[in-house]
Every structure is written in structure tokens, then in C-alpha cells.
Amino acid sequence: MIQKMIPAYFALLLIGLISLSTQLKASVPPFQHGDRVVFIGDSITHGGRYHADIYLYHATRFPDRPFVAHNCGISGDTAPGTNIRFESDIAVHRPTVATIMLGMNDAYGWAFDPSLALQEKINAQASSYDHYTQAMDQMARTLAEMDCRMVFIKPSIYDQTAVLDQKNLLGKNDQLGRFAEYIDALAIKYSASVVDFYTPMSVINHVIQASDPSATIVGGDRVHPSIPGHLVMAYHFLKSQNMSPYVSAIQLDASEGGKILELRNCEIHGDLEATSDQVSFSATEKALPFPLSSAQLKALDWVPFQHELNRQVLAVDNLPTGKYALSIDAIKVGEYSSVALKTGINLSANSSTPQYQQALQIKALQNKQLQATNKLRSIALVRHSMVKKIKPAVSEKDHAALTIALATHLNKSKGEPWYKYLRQQADVYLETIQNEDKYKQEEVQWMQKMWQQNQPTTHTWKLRKI
């Protein structure tokens, strides 16, 4: 019965992504106890959520495998730029695993400006490819020398097909496609793993734009994936790690006093009790459901996240016909028909369950960790893209001189679209730089608390006929 519980998905899933998910399964080992993971990237990593979703998934699915993960993305960065900051911003974490997703800024935007002469475009795009591939090879070589396992991520797309107000740099996404092809060769050279974001995101865009030309999996700027887009990216990363669909699964037979037919990732303690109008038991599940926010729900139109990665199943055969109230720890969580229970219900999205509430507590701890992380990434961005470019050099301990030097540096960008963002980042930097060590400690401490809060708990389940 557990295998038969297949929800109805939109045509998009049936046509494209279910088959793609099978093709994209790759040998990307799940993160292990004690790993130190770095997510290397540009603004899509710096300000994005895909890596946080991946970490939260591991924290809810594998409570016995604690590890730490660090956001090592910097807005506006490139592969050559990442190599420049590598020692102080990446190697300092002594990573055992590195994921690398770069390319959006390496595919120079100006090289696709319609006003540029054809030969200049050709030369610029060739230079872009050379700089990217050489820098990525250098980065891979450095990581290999550190004995760090590598996971190369084919870059997310630049949306050059959506009908949007934002200027369209036609050809930029094709350049990202060339980068994506190179990643395959680079991974072979260094015996690394590959996760493909580029292909499935392209497929989703193609399908949704067939009915709505303005629809996009990325934002209105054509570059930065939306929150649902980041969940799609996390989905494909997790699928590449060959994750089981099951949080847990319990299949019972309610006849003849009750018996256990199948258990997945959980244990039932003591006797299963089944009468003509009630089934009860105590169980310890070894994982928790992944808690989705309302902002992420759009992604469920695009990928079968709940069915393929987040199934917390209860199935009960041979119940007397009728409707049943389900309670867990004396908390009523829903009412279900005997037919639905025979097929199997997925409780992973049921926010009333104690398991879901425990998962929300872990997510709340992660949100506190991300607050510290965001401050650290602002410090890193300003340090590497501004402070290190100031001549003569200014000490980060000289707050007054630093404030003046940064203001002078920022004035060069006044009037540019990115000025306001850089100004905000500089303000955060000046407010937090003296407390950098404190935020580093907080980041790790909140992660540690996540792995304390995620431990399995025994719950009492009861089905009662209404």
C-alpha cells in the first residue's frame, strides 16, 4: 500500500521533471557526521536559500549525522575572484566537502549587450570562457590538494526567454550552458561529483512560459531564483544524493487484533492494539518531516518534492468502513476515511503533528544561524570587494578611517543600479566588523543546537472511528 500512494501532479511533472530526476541521479554522497561543508558561489549562494534548505533537510532526515556548513558565496563574485579570496574565506573552514556553483558573473553581461559590435562580442565571450575554465581548474586543483571532496553544480539559468521589463542580454544563458558542459569534463578530471541545476531549470521555464510568457523560475532581474526556485535547486541536489522518499512509513493491518505489515525508518514499541473502532501504538521515527514555508509552495507545481523526498506515511488495511480521527500524543491532527488510510496518507505537510512542530523548532534555530551568517557574508563581501581595493590600505581596526575610505570608494558607484545594495552592505559591515568573531561563534552554536533539537522522540498514535 505504501508504494501506491501517488498524488496527482501537474502535466509539467509528468512530461519533464520526473523523468529528468531519474536521469540526474548521480553519485553525490550524503553529507556525513563531522563533515565541514562549504557552499562556494556568487550572489545566488550569498543571498540565496538552496544551501540552507539542503542543510535543513539533512538535519531533519539524519539526526545521527551532525555536520557544519558554511555559506561561502559573495555577491558579484567570479571564479577568478573566488580564487583570490580562497585562503581567507574558504580554506579557513578546513572543508571536507565543497560545492561550487559559479558562472553567472563570469558570463560577462556587457559581452551580450546588443549595441556591441559582433567581433567584440565574439572576443569578449571567448575571453569569458577562458577566464572561467582556467579559474575553475585552479580552484579544483587547490581543493584536491586539500583532500576536499568536490561537488560541482552546473549554474542556475539566466532567463533570456521570459517577457520581462528587465533588459535581456540575449546569449548570456547560452554561455552558461557552455560553462555547464565544461563542468562535466572538469568533474571527470578531478573525480568529482556533478549536480545539474541548469537543465531542469531550463525545462521548467520552457514549460511554464508556454502558457505564460512572463512566467519565470528566477526573479524579474532574470538572474536570481525566487524562493520556490531555490527549493527546486535544493530538490535536484538532494535527488542527486539519492535520498529516500521516506521520512518514515508505517503500514498496519487492523484485523485480528492488529499486526505490523511494514515499517520504514521507524520502530513500534510494545503491543499494537486494534479493536473494532480503534487502533493505537507507540512509535519512534528516525527522522522528521521537512517543513515547507508558504513562500516555497509554488515549487510544488514544478517538482514532486513531497512525494519523492518528504513522505511520512501511515497506511492501515482492513479498517471497518468509515471515518477516523487521528491523534498523536493526544493531539488531534486530522480526520481520514478508511479508504484514504488503506491507500496511505502523507503527514509530512500536516503542521498539527508533534513531529512537524519539532521540525519547525529546528528551522527556527536555523533562522537564527542564518542571521549570524548573513552578517558574516556582508563582512566578507565588503572586505574582499571594497576594503582590499582601497589604496593606501586601511586597517579594519581604525573605524573612523575605514568609514571615510568606504564612503569615498562607494561614491565611485553612485548612480549605478548596484549602489544602494553596496551601500547597505557597507553599513552592515561597519556595524558588525568589530564583532566578527562573535558572529562566527554564534553561527556554529546555532548549528549545534539544531542537532540537539532534532533527536528522535517516541509518540503515541491513535486512530479512533468517528
Asked if residue 7 has pLDDT above 60, the reply is no
Reported as a single tens digit per residue, the pLDDT across 279-299 is 999 999 999 999 999 999 999
Asked if residue 10 has pLDDT above 90, the reply is no
Asked if residue 181 has pLDDT above 60, the reply is yes
Quote the strand ranges of 134-174, DSSP E: 149-154
Looking at domain 26-240, its CATH superfamily turns out to be SGNH hydrolase (3.40.50.1110)
Can you tell me the mean pLDDT for 395-410?
Answer: 93
221: Cβ contacts below 8 Å, ≥ 6 apart: 166
The three cell numbers of residue 129 are 570562457
Q: How many CB atoms lie within 10 A of CB 4?
A: 9
143: Cβ contacts below 8 Å, ≥ 6 apart: 95, 98, 150, 190
3-state secondary structure 375-411: HHHHHHHHHHHCHHHCCCCCCCCCHHHHHHHHHHHHH
Quote the strand ranges of 192-318, DSSP E: 193-196, 246-253, 259-264, 266-274, 278-285, 311-317
Can you tell me the mean pLDDT for 161-177?
Answer: 96
Can you tell me the mean pLDDT for 452-456?
Answer: 98
181: Cβ contacts below 8 Å, ≥ 6 apart: none
Can you tell me the mean pLDDT for 393-415?
Answer: 93
Asked if residue 19 has pLDDT above 50, the reply is no
Per-residue pLDDT at 2: 53
Reported as a single tens digit per residue, the pLDDT across 43-54 is 999 999 999 999
**Which of 24-28, 306-310, 335-339, 386-390 bottoms out in mean pLDDT, i.e. has the lowest?**
24-28
Task: Give dist(CA 410, CA 250) in Å, integer.
Answer: 59
Can you tell me the mean pLDDT for 4-16?
Answer: 43
Asked if residue 11 has pLDDT above 60, the reply is no
Reported as a single tens digit per residue, the pLDDT across 185-223 is 999 999 999 999 999 999 999 999 999 999 999 999 999
Q: Where are the domains of the chain?
A: 26-240, 246-350+453-465, 359-438
Structural element, H or E, at residue 345:
strand 345-346
Can you tell me the mean pLDDT for 119-138?
Answer: 97
Binned at pLDDT 50, 70 and 90, residue 257 comes out as confident
Q: What percent of the chain has pLDDT over 70?
A: 94
Asked if residue 111 has pLDDT above 80, the reply is yes
Return the residue matching grid coordinates 566537502: 97
195 close to 151: Cβ distance less than 8 angstroms: yes
Per-residue pLDDT at 200: 96
Task: Give dist(CA 221, CA 401) in Å, integer.
Answer: 35
Task: Give dist(CA 382, CA 388) in Å, integer.
Answer: 8
Per-residue pLDDT at 1: 47
Q: Which three-class secondary structure state does DSSP give residue 247?
A: strand
240 close to 200: Cβ distance less than 8 angstroms: no
Cα-only R_g, the chain: 25
104 close to 223: Cβ distance less than 8 angstroms: yes
Residue type at 187?
A
Per-residue pLDDT at 17: 46
Instruction: Report the mean per-residue pLDDT for the chain.
Output: 93
Q: How many CB atoms lie within 10 A of CB 398?
A: 11
Cα–chain center distance at 216: 18
Q: Would you state the torsion angle of the CA atoms of residues 406, 412, 418, 419, taken in this order, to the nearest 10 degrees?
A: 60
Can you tell me the mean pLDDT for 122-128?
Answer: 96
Per-residue pLDDT at 22: 39
pTM of the model: 0.94
Per-residue pLDDT at 183: 98
∠ Cα 403 404 409 (to 5°): 100
Which overall architecture, per CATH, does domain 246-350+453-465 show?
A: Sandwich (2.60)
Reported as a single tens digit per residue, the pLDDT across 419-452 is 999 999 999 999 999 999 999 999 999 999 999 9
Binned at pLDDT 50, 70 and 90, residue 6 comes out as very low
Sign of the CA dihedral with 349 first, then 29, 71, and 236 last: negative
Asked if residue 61 has pLDDT above 80, the reply is yes
Per-residue pLDDT at 406: 95
Per-residue pLDDT at 23: 44
**Which of 340-349, 360-369, 385-394, 456-465 bottoms out in mean pLDDT, i.e. has the lowest?**
385-394
Can you tell me the mean pLDDT for 334-356?
Answer: 98
